[in-house]
Chain A
């Protein structure tokens, strides 16, 4: 089946005081219908930048190179008005910090009704009925929520409301950017159940961006591990997590509670001052001389890896 999203050779640089700061380097990914691809890695590795690049939400002055193909059209070359048609209805995004994703001075009801009407999906009356139906299906008191402001709701409730706003537009692709950040265990479980419905119909793709390896392991079919703006390993989730090949992936998994919180030595380098060769070599116990000079290619195959 044709991929919904194909990212080819994507590079993103931000302007810095001493030149360009490379946030994403030569990244290629694809996502098919009914599939969940998780991008995992530490804060600052460029995961969210990829999501924002897809939806063209990066700040002015950002240099974006490569191709982001959504159902055959390159999003990087569409006009702003064309992107307005894509955002929401074609590609929905669940942002991190749900409280901030909602307008604090607008009642939730209006925030759920307006996008449906704006995208021409239905009348205002039908939009209200649909919104209430979705809120009820997510276990919320629809009447009360519709007349509430976001600040009157808990973090878990806001996350459900954001998910409702996304699902009401029936997008073909959902991007969830750190959706579980700051949620407690019970809310994480609820959110996972919601996100698993995205791909259940086999027609919608889910691009999951997370630093939570447990969430990624439960929801995704494939996983891409990012470090300093590059994918260092990619493959089937079960395979990557059970037998990681790249030293960084191994380190990341070693940091998990079930593996004893073994930390990776050192800290991630600043993107403005990346080391030569393999970006992970200063923290890698297996680094050889060539790792200090050569950037390893991403070896293709069932399991892609840069080591």
Chain B
């Protein structure tokens, strides 16, 4: 079943064409890899597919309907995990806000987060820390947990392991594979490292 589709999308910033006439179809449970050199338009493509930016021309459809903005069913994981959290809020405060929007009562939030943390190989003591008090690998796991809290159907992963060490990278890649196996989510996996894309993706598109 087709879940996310980009139909001839283009994006320019001033005179610079970041993405030209790009098309993509992603089925449920599939992982599509996007690879290419710096400046090839990978991250632009990611933001458009996540609904964070609109293309100048072309259309993006999620579950058959035009995507006109951010949609909780499509979550994005960024390259710099620590930078994607509010620096003056503890990890618990950041994640609790997501559960609040989901309508989860305050009394249940810590237990629910502890369960997610355990599944992601994180210690619950991290909940009381600030983003700059955790390692890059821990922050990326927390970012994945945050994405999972809203039960997405598609995860856009923009260079999720580029800033991580090889050993932590291996752990995160296996974690993502386990999550996909359990939830049947679709991934758009973006990396400049062909070996990482090859390991994760069912098929690869080079930009």
| Closest CB pairs A-B (n = 9) | A257-B195, A263-B170, A255-B170, A261-B170, A263-B171, A255-B167, A184-B192, A211-B165, A255-B166
Does B168 contact A258, Cβ atoms closer than 8 Å? no
Does A185 contact B37, Cβ atoms closer than 8 Å? yes
Can you name the residue of chain B whose Cβ is closest to the Cβ of A156? Answer: B38
Given contacts A184-B192, A255-B167, could you give 12 more A-B pairs where the C-beta distance is less than 8 Å?
A42-B168, A43-B164, A44-B135, A156-B38, A212-B166, A256-B166, A257-B199, A261-B173, A262-B170, A263-B174, A264-B170, A264-B171
Does A263 contact B167, Cβ atoms closer than 8 Å? yes
- B67 within 8 Å of A (CB atoms): no
Does B39 contact A181, Cβ atoms closer than 8 Å? no
- A155 within 8 Å of B (CB atoms): yes
- A251 within 8 Å of B (CB atoms): yes
Of residues B135, B167, B168, B195, which shows the largest number of chain A Cβ atoms within 10 Å of its Cβ?
Answer: B167
- B4 within 8 Å of A (CB atoms): no
Does B166 contact A252, Cβ atoms closer than 8 Å? yes
Question: How many A-B pairs with Cβ below 8 Å?
Answer: 63
Known: A44-B135, A267-B137. A258 touches B195 (CB 8 A): yes
Total residues of chain A contacting the partner, CB 8 A = 30
- A86 within 8 Å of B (CB atoms): no
Which residues from chain A contact B171 at a C-beta distance below 8 Å?
A: 263-264
Can you name the residue of chain B whose Cβ is closest to the Cβ of A251? Answer: B167
A115 CA to B11 CA in the complex, in Å? 42
Candidates A43, A182, A257; contact of B137 at CB < 8 Å: A43
Candidates A156, A185, A252; contact of B167 at CB < 8 Å: A252
Candidates A184, A254, A257, A258; contact of B37 at CB < 8 Å: A184
A37 CA to B35 CA in the complex, in Å? 32
Which residues from chain B contact A156 at a C-beta distance below 8 Å?
A: 38
A263 CA to B166 CA in the complex, in Å? 9
- A73 within 8 Å of B (CB atoms): no
Can you name the residue of chain A whose Cβ is closest to the Cβ of B162? Answer: A182
Which residues from chain B contact A213 at a C-beta distance below 8 Å?
A: 166
Q: How far is the CB of A44 from chain B (nearest CB, A)?
A: 6
Does B168 contact A43, Cβ atoms closer than 8 Å? yes
Proximity string of chain A (150-172) to chain B, C-beta cutoff 8 Å, 1 when within and 0 when not: 00001110000000000000000
A186 CA to B195 CA in the complex, in Å? 15
Q: How far is the CB of A78 from chain B (nearest CB, A)?
A: 32
Does A154 contact B39, Cβ atoms closer than 8 Å? yes
A42 CA to B194 CA in the complex, in Å? 22
- A30 within 8 Å of B (CB atoms): no
- B87 within 8 Å of A (CB atoms): no
Which residues from chain B contact A187 at a C-beta distance below 8 Å?
A: 38
